[in-house]
Structure 1
Amino acid sequence: MNSNSESFTRLWFDQNVNSTEDNFKTQKELSQVIHHLQIFYNNDECEQYIRQITKEKVVLIVSNSLGQHFVPQLHDLLQLSA
């Protein structure tokens, strides 16, 4: 059995995360495989949270439209896992 000692923080940044039935369905499905998912509605709060993480990798879920502007700001951070 392969043991992975790397730890991950899972974040979802979407200003409209709770506004559609599809997003609710996705959250429900993710909760079956991800026990803790931190949701952010504000890019400054999300970025600040990511930047303070030092010992884990970050898995970031972000919509295409927000990602086009937000991800380049974080591109060089070692915490982000793509």
Structure 2
Amino acid sequence: QLWQWLHVPGQHLDDGTAIDLALLDATLAQLPARLGDTAALPGSARIPESIALLADLSRREELTDFLTLPAYDRLD
């Protein structure tokens, strides 16, 4: 859904805010703080990598068929 909102012109939130790359960037930048203390969570060290992957996938011109496939490539 996120990809579609970003790639179909004229999408807005209920308050009129445009759904665009600036909103995506601002929202993703806030995620670590909104998650709070994640030190005890399994895989917490990969949260920044996950956020970067979501940003990358959201910006692509074509929607990835399965969003998990690019993530699998990053597994150890």
TM-score strictly above 0.5: no
Tell me the TM-score normalized by structure 2.
0.25
Between structures 1 and 2, the one with greater helix share: 2
Is the radius of gyration larger for structure 1 or structure 2? 2
Between structures 1 and 2, the one with greater strand share: 1
Higher relative contact order (CA 8 A, sep 6+): 1
Tell me the TM-score normalized by structure 1.
0.24
